[in-house]
Amino acid sequence: MTTRTDTAWRHGTPQRTAVLLVNLGTPDAPTAPALRTYLAEFLGDPRVVEIPRAAWLPILHGVILRVRPAKSAAKYASIWTPEGSPLAVWTRRQTTLLQGHLGERLGQPEPAVLVRYAMRYGNPSIPSVLDELKAQGATRILVLPLYPQYAGSTTATANDKINEWLARQRRQPELRFVNHYHDDPGYIGALARRVTDHWATQGRGEKLVLSFHGVPERTLHLGDPYHCECHVTARLLREALGLRPDELQVTFQSRFGKAKWLEPYTEPTLIALAQQGLKRVDVMCPGFTSDCLETLEEINQEAREAFLHAGGQAFHYIPCLNDQPQWISALAALAERHLQGWDVRGKPAAELNAQRERALAMGAAD
Ligand SMILES: C=CC1=C(C)c2cc3[nH]c(cc4nc(cc5[nH]c(cc1n2)c(C)c5CCC(=O)O)C(CCC(=O)O)=C4C)c(C)c3C=C
Ligand SMILES: [Fe+2]
Ligand SMILES: [Fe+2]
Ligand nearest to the CA of 288: 1
Same domain, 128 and 208: no
CB within 8 A of 254, min separation 6: which ones?
Answer: 213, 214, 294, 298
Question: Does any domain span residue 288?
Answer: yes
Same domain, 314 and 205: yes
pLDDT digits (tens, 9 = 90+) for 66-117: 999 999 999 999 999 999 999 999 999 999 999 998 876 565 555 679 999 9
Give distance in angstroms: CA of 210 to centre of ligand 1.
17
Confidence (pLDDT) at 15: 77
Q: Is the CB of 48 under 6 A from ligand 1?
A: yes
pLDDT digits (tens, 9 = 90+) for 124-164: 999 999 999 999 999 999 999 999 999 999 999 999 999 99
Same domain, 273 and 145: no
Is 338 flagged in the annotation as binding? Answer: no
For residue 31, pLDDT beyond 80: yes
Same domain, 246 and 208: yes
Q: Ligand 1, closest atom to CA 79?
A: 29
Q: Which amino acid is at 24?
A: L
Confidence (pLDDT) at 365: 41
Mean pLDDT along residues 166-171:
97
The length of the chain in residues reads 366
> 316, 328, 333, 289: which is closest to 197 by C-alpha?
316
**CB atoms near residue 217 (< 10 Å):** 15
> 118, 205, 199: which is closest to 158 by C-alpha?
118
Confidence (pLDDT) at 107: 58
What's the number of domains the chain is made of? 2
Check which CATH number belongs to the domain holding 235 and give it. 3.40.50.1400
Question: Does any domain span residue 70?
Answer: no
> 277, 278, 281, 292: which is closest to 251 by C-alpha?
281
Q: Which residue among 22, 23, 24 has the greatest number of ligand 1 atoms within 8 angstroms of its CB, and so is best to mutate?
A: 24
Same domain, 21 and 161: yes
pLDDT-derived band at 366, boundaries 50, 70, 90: very low
Query: What is the distance between the alpha carbons of residues 348 and 325, in angstroms, rounded to a whole number?
Result: 25
pLDDT digits (tens, 9 = 90+) for 214-245: 999 999 999 999 999 999 999 999 999 999 99
Is 213 flagged in the annotation as binding? Answer: yes
Q: Ligand 1, closest atom to CA 50?
A: 42
Q: Is the CB of 95 under 6 A from ligand 1?
A: no
Same domain, 304 and 336: no
Question: Does any domain span residue 1?
Answer: no
Query: What is the distance between the alpha carbons of residues 361 and 144, in angstroms, rounded to a whole number?
Result: 36
**What residues flank ion ligand 3 with Cβ within 5 A?**
254, 294, 298
Confidence (pLDDT) at 9: 75
Cis upstream peptide for 264 (omega within 30°): yes
Give distance in angstroms: CA of 66 to centre of ligand 1.
18
Could you give the ipTM of this predicted complex? 0.97
Q: Is the CB of 60 under 6 A from ligand 1?
A: no
Residue nearest to atom 3 of ligand 1 (CA): 213
Give me the domain span that covers residue 269.
185-318
Question: 211: burial class by Cβ within 10 Å (0-12, 13-18, 19+)?
Answer: buried
The alpha-helical segments, DSSP class H, found in the chain are 32-43, 53-59, 65-77, 86-105, 126-135, 157-166, 185-202, 217-221, 226-241, 266-275, 304-309, 325-339, 349-361
Task: Let me know: does 17 contact 106? Beta carbons within 8 Å.
Answer: no
Same domain, 197 and 291: yes
Please count the CA atoms within 13 angstroms of the CA of 10 that sit on its side-chain side. 0
pLDDT digits (tens, 9 = 90+) for 308-336: 999 999 999 999 999 999 999 999 999 99
